[in-house]
């Protein structure tokens, strides 16, 4: 099995002709590798299809480059650089913590101590930790003092430590917020330390401790470069403070109030005049929740840089349960949840660049990396025309937010239950095996963090091994997302269409301007994850006469936003999503944690923000199942002259798509239906349906029922079906929805000579013409109800 | 709850035979289910399997709901060529471990062999009170999603 010694990523997904794209490569072992640029045509290796196809590119790179290892320093933390006030002789450190993995399995990938608030390296310095046995611990140089009582996971504890340099007395307080009936009373513990704190240039670290400060090239991708951190903490940290004297327990209690600047006349910068004289730092995570800076309200402004994007907007130790939006009561959201597998940016060195030729076609491309020993990786990217320089009448909207949501997905490996929903034993590919070992590459928004809490961010500045050709996904046992969308690209190429491509990022930032010079927009097979401005732009486009071909299912489902703290690194670097109270959820956000940290908007399903899925292209998700696919049949609506042109060359009675490279049929995986009560326009025509043909692995979506009951599967429930649908939009526009993720997998069948290919061609040929579509017959102009015709 | 069928019973042998026939019929399908393709490799008409054998369906669901530590999984070791049976570690950062020397040349046969392994390994009363552990209080018993 290949060990994946080559991995890499680019600085962007979309690049304009004439611009330069940069590539970052880890080559772990081989002394050199070859880099080329290729055009991607088909990524599916299934022998029943056309096979893997790539094309050479004019003006490609053809370089042999020296191999070097590059690593990801994952796990989130905060740091403030060393400064004299931090080099205290005595101290009080205090904070609230909600640890999620105080104790880990000895084989756990980061088993060992966890740092809470530390200025400590190699037995020099001071700090609060959790020791490998799961007890809170204070360290002065090499002296360790631990609480006799272990920490309870998923519970708040107040912890504090004081050290008096004059007496050498070191005291540790561990005070659980919740006391159960049989809990012992946890008394403070103390010891005497006979030496002074040894100071080093190590920074103060929040949720970690400094491991090394080195010139090692592998440490340069840490932040700050050359300073590596260990003991990445899993859990919430709230209101940490450092004072330069050993406070009494009463003073510690008062110090919980923090620096409280702004009332200097009465008490200087502190909860009392006396305490204001000893504060070194008092971080308030409730400020700047939409940033990656942890604000220090103390006198020295030791604002901590947050690295690898820990989760903010998290309920604090004082959350009241009466406010659910952090913007309304930020002081109840003074917690940051750190995870030892967070990653915001691999921060690798550039290995090579490619300047896109000015006359380059807008297409799917990839940097292809190979070694003579058989190592291989592809780094996909897209050449996107500038607005006003469109090259075609057709544009393919690459669902990159959805690709990011699924980036480096671990569900088959993490989740015992994966087998239940795929209805077979999942198959893992070598990408999955690599990721199972290399947790530092981060997970997907479908996964839970290594501490079991949901992943709500995904960065594209890391190798994303799921956006690869030759990759079958366990959900489909076939291509999914990127390689599945290549089925459609293969079809466009084979049928001889000229097309442009652009990404979700382009549309999110450019709005309608990105769409309006095209006659037709084609989606990917599963554009599930969307920004609000993207939905706005699609609505505006179809309203003004644009044509939309929705080539899949389960789209327009989840609320996404790009985190503004990364705007300086490019478009759409980090996407955020929360899995709230409904929808298909592989994890569920905790109460009070439904609002995005980056934009402050309510997360969850667009449906629960009043943007029904069905309103975008006429259909919305109704069921999913992952074992095998089925096929469609035309319905009487197909004979309506408004849409009967779509049947040209196809018999009304023939099975539509009872073949294919995804599940064996065109109707499968996830399926959308027409529902005029959920936003399908009342004049929508259901052209074809797969009703009655799905297996018991297919289940109705949970947002469509309120009461658990039998009969929700494909063998019994009428809404477990896909509906291929058509409707007109104003000004000669229209939407045609194919309503199945598996649909595009049937296009390449028999060298694209099949009825799914024919149906798609009929629609595309009509939709791509200049000017408005022909008007419908006069008798079809009539007012229709939603539930009552 | 459905019991795992006893060794040597006709019920168990029938279940194994049905599972095997479904597995064989799925060869060539870019997907998989314990259902029988009327035409091998073609999902136009599927019958039998979990749709017509409720005991087989429930036994399979019991097996599929096993907890993650030590759970069987299939690894594709050479794209479109080789597959192996492995077990999940249940520990983050510890990848699945291949547990059998057998190398499969299609992606279906391992499904059947895992079914046989589980029939051997699961006690008849798995999931009943005599198998209670402390873990039932903290989700070790559940069908975890991730």
Same domain, A148 and A22: no
Interface test mutation site (partner B, options A154, A424, A694, max chain B beta carbons within 10 A): A424
Measured CA to CA, the distance from residue A578 to residue A456 in angstroms comes to: 6
Picking from A210, A220, A45, the residue whose alpha carbon sits closest to that of residue A129 is: A210
Do the Cβ atoms of B146 and A470 come within 8 Å?
A: no
Q: How far apart are CA A641 and CA A357, in angstroms?
A: 46
CATH of the domain at A108: 2.60.120.200
Verify that A177 and A267 share a domain, yes or no. yes
User: Is residue A112 located within the same domain as residue A177?
Assistant: yes
- CA nearest A421: which of B21, B98, B113, B33? B33
Is pLDDT at A576 greater than 80 in this prediction? yes
Which runs of consecutive H residues, i.e. helices, occur in A389-463? 400-405, 411-414, 418-422, 430-437
Question: Is A552 within 8 Å of A527 (Cβ atoms)?
Answer: yes
Q: Burial of A610 by CB count in 10 Å (0-12 exposed, 13-18 middle, 19+ buried)? A: exposed
In angstroms, how far is CA B49 from the centroid of its own chain? 13
Q: Is B124 helix (H, G, I), strand (E, B) or coil?
A: coil
Alpha carbon distance A727, A737 (integer Å): 9
A656 exposure class (CB count in 10 Å sphere: 0-12, 13-18, 19+): buried
Looking at the fold, whether A57 and A128 belong to one and the same domain comes out as no
Of A45, A427, A437, the CB nearest to B107: A427
Identify the domain containing residue A384 by its residue range.
Answer: 6-71+346-388
- pLDDT given at position B65: 86
Whether residue A153 sits in one domain with residue A82: yes
Domain-located, residue A460: no
The pair of three-digit structure tokens given for residue A202, joined into one six-digit string: 């190590």
Residues A269, A251: one domain? yes
User: Could you read off the pLDDT tens digit of each residue along chain B, which spans 146 residues?
Assistant: 888 898 999 999 999 999 999 999 999 999 999 999 999 999 999 999 999 999 999 999 989 988 888 999 999 999 999 999 999 998 988 999 999 999 999 999 999 999 999 999 988 877 788 888 888 888 765 555 54
| pLDDT tens, position by position, A413-460 | 887 788 999 999 999 999 999 999 999 999 999 999 999 999 999 999
Tell me what pLDDT residue B143 has. 52
pLDDT at residue number A289? 98
> What is residue A1's predicted lDDT score, i.e. its pLDDT?
46
From B6's Cα to the closest Cα of chain A, the distance in A is: 22
Instruction: Identify all chain B residues contacting A440, using CB atoms and an 8 Å cutoff.
Output: none
How many C-beta neighbours within 10 Å does residue A273 have? 11
- Say which residue, A778 or A270, is predicted with more confidence: A778
Q: Which of A48, A412, A628 sits opposite B73 (nearest CB)?
A: A412
Average pLDDT of chain A, as a whole number = 96
- All residues at 6 or more sequence positions from A160 whose CB lies less than 8 Å from its CB, including other chains: A92, A93, A94, A95, A172, A173, A252
Determine the distance from the C-alpha atom of residue A573 to the mean position of all C-alpha atoms in its chain, rounded to a whole number: 10
Task: Give which of A296, A329, A326 is closest to A311, Cα–Cα.
Answer: A326
Helices B10-25 and B54-64, packing angle to 10 deg: 80
* E strand or H helix that includes residue A153: none
For residue A395, tell me if it sits in a domain: no
State how far residue B125 is from chain A, nearest Cα, in angstroms: 20
Paired tokens of A595: 């609002």
Same domain, A200 and A321: yes
How distant is the Cα of A339 from the closest Cα of chain B, in angstroms? Answer: 13
pLDDT tens digits for B87-98? Answer: 999 898 899 999
A282-300, pLDDT tens digit by residue?
Answer: 999 999 999 999 999 999 9
- What domain count does chain A have? 3
| pTM score over 0.95 | yes
| A82 shares a domain with A10 | no
Radius of gyration, alpha carbons of chain B: 16
pLDDT digits (tens, 9 = 90+) for A113-136: 999 999 999 999 999 999 999 999
Distance CA A541, CA A547 (A): 8
Place of tokens 């597995």: B23
Between A789 and A629, residue with greater pLDDT = A629
- Ramachandran assignment for A751, one of left (phi > 0), alpha (psi -120 to 50 degrees), beta (any other): left
- Neighboring chain B residues of A632 at a CB cutoff of 8 Å: none
A 226-255 residues with CB < 8 A to B? none
Mean pLDDT value of segment A336-343 = 98
Domain end (from A326, A359, A388): A388
What is the H or E stretch that residue A726 is in? strand A723-729
- Write the pLDDT tens digit of every residue in A683-724: 999 999 999 999 999 999 999 999 999 999 999 999 999 999
Burial A331-359 (b: 16+ CB within 10 A, else e): ebbbbbbbbbbbbbbbbbeebbebebeee
Give the C-alpha separation, A216 to A226, whole Å. Answer: 7
Q: What is the CATH number of the domain that holds A376?
A: 2.60.40.1930
Asked whether the beta carbons of A221 and A203 are under 8 A apart, the reply is no
Structural domain includes residue A261: yes
Cα nearest neighbour of B77 on chain A: A1
What are A678's two structure tokens?
Answer: 């959920």
CB contact under 8 A, B114 and A425: yes
Q: Which residue reads 């259909």 in tokens?
A: A619
Q: What is the pLDDT of residue A443?
A: 96
Distance CA A567, CA A585 (A): 28
Contacts of A746 in chain B (CB under 8 A): none
Q: Does one domain contain both A172 and A258?
A: yes
Report if residue A255 sits inside a domain.
yes
What are the backbone dihedrals phi and psi of residue A260, each rounded to the nearest 5 degrees, phi first?
50, 60
């Amino acid at each position: 099995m290949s060990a994946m010694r080559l991995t890499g990523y680019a600085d962007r997904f979309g690049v304009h002709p004439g611009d330069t794209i940069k590539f970052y490569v880890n080559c772990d072992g081989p002394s050199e590798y070859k880099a080329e640029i290729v055009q991607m045509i088909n990524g599916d290796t299934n022998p029943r299809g056309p096979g893997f196809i790539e094309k050479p590119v004019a003006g490609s790179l053809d370089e042999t480059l020296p191999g070097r290892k590059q690593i990801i320093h994952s796990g989130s933390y905060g740091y403030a650089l060393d400064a004299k006030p931090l080099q205290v002789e005595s101290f009080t450190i205090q904070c609230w913590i909600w640890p999620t993995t105080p104790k880990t399995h000895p084989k756990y990938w980061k088993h060992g101590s966890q740092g809470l608030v530390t200025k400590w390296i190699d037995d020099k310095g001071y700090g609060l930790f959790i020791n490998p046995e799961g007890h809170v611990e204070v360290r002065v140089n090499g002296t360790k003092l631990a609480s006799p009582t272990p920490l309870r996971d998923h519970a708040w504890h107040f912890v504090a430590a004081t050290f008096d340099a004059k007496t050498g007395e070191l005291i540790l307080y561990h005070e659980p917020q919740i006391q159960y009936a049989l809990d012992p009373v946890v008394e403070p513990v103390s010891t005497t330390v006979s030496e002074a704190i040894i100071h080093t240039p190590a920074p103060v670290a929040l949720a970690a401790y400094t491991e090394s400060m080195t010139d090692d090239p592998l440490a340069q991708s840490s932040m700050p470069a050359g300073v590596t951190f260990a003991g990445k903490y899993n859990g919430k940290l709230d209101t940490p403070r450092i004072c330069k004297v050993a406070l009494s327990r009463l003073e510690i209690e008062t110090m919980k109030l923090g620096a409280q600047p702004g009332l200097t006349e009465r008490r200087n910068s502190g909860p009392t005049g006396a305490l204001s004289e000893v504060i070194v730092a008092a971080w308030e995570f409730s400020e700047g929740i939409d940033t990656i800076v942890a604000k220090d309200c103390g006198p020295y402004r030791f604002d901590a840089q947050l690295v690898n994007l820990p989760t903010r907007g998290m309920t604090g130790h004082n959350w009241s349960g009466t406010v659910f939006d952090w913007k309304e009561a930020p002081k109840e959201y003074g917690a940051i949840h750190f995870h030892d597998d967070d990653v915001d940016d691999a921060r690798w060195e550039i290995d090579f660049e490619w300047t896109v030729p000015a006359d380059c076609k807008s297409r799917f491309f990839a940097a292809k990396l190979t070694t003579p020993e058989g190592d291989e990786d592809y780094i996909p990217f897209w050449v996107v025309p500038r607005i006003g320089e469109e090259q075609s009448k057709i544009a393919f909207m690459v669902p990159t937010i959805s690709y990011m949501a699924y980036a480096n997905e671990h569900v088959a490996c993490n989740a015992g239950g994966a087998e239940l929903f795929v209805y077979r034993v999942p198959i893992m590919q070598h990408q999955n095996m690599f990721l199972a070992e290399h947790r530092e590459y981060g997970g997907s928004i479908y996964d839970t963090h290594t501490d079991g809490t949901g992943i709500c961010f995904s960065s594209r500045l890391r190798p994303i091994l799921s956006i690869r050709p030759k990759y079958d996904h366990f959900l489909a046992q076939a291509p999914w997302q990127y390689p599945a969308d290549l089925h459609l690209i293969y079809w466009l190429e084979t049928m001889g269409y000229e097309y442009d491509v652009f990404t979700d990022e382009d549309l999110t930032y450019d709005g309608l301007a990105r769409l309006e010079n095209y006659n037709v927009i084609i989606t990917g097979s599963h554009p599930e994850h969307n920004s609000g401005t993207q939905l706005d732009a699609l609505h505006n486009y179809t309203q003004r006469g644009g044509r939309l071909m929705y080539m899949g299912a389960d789209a327009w489902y989840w609320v996404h936003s790009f985190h503004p703290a990364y705007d300086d690194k490019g478009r759409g670097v980090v996407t955020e999503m929360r899995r709230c109270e409904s929808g298909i959820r592989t994890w569920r956000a905790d109460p009070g944690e439904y609002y995005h940290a980056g934009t402050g908007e309510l997360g969850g399903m667009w449906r629960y923000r009043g943007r029904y899925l069905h309103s975008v292209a006429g259909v919305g998700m109704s069921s999913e199942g992952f074992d095998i696919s089925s096929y469609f049949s035309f319905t009487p609506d197909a004979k309506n002259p408004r849409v009967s042109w779509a049947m040209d060359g196809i018999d009304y009675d023939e099975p539509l798509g009872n073949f294919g490279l995804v599940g064996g049929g065109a109707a499968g995986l996830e399926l959308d239906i027409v529902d005029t009560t959920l936003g399908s326009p009342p004049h929508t025509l259901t052209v074809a349906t797969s009703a009655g043909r799905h297996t018991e692995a297919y289940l109705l979506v949970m947002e469509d029922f309120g009461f658990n009951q039998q009969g929700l599967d494909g063998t019994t429930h009428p809404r477990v079906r896909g509906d291929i649908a058509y409707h007109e939009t104003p000004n000669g526009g229209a939407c045609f929805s194919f309503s199945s993720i598996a649909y595009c997998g049937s296009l390449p069948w028999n060298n694209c000579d099949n009825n799914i290919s024919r149906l798609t061609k009929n629609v595309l040929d009509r939709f791509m013409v200049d000017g408005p579509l022909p008007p419908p017959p006069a008798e079809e102009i009539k007012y229709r109800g939603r539930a009552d015709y | 709850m459905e019991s795992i069928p006893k060794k040597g019973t006709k019920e168990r042998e029938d279940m194994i035979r049905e599972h095997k026939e479904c597995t064989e019929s799925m060869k060539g399908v870019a997907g998989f289910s314990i259902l029988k393709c009327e035409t091998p490799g073609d999902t136009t008409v599927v019958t039998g399997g979990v749709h017509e054998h409720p005991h087989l369906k429930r036994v399979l669901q019991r097996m599929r709901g096993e907890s993650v530590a030590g759970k069987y999984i299939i690894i594709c070791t050479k794209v479109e060529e080789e597959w192996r049976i492995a077990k999940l570690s249940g520990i983050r950062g510890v990848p699945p471990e291949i547990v059998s020397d057998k190398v499969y040349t299609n992606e279906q046969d391992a499904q059947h062999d895992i079914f046989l392994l589980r029939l051997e390994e699961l006690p008849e009363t798995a999931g009943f009170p005599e198998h209670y552990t402390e873990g039932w209080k903290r989700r070790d018993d559940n069908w975890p999603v991730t």
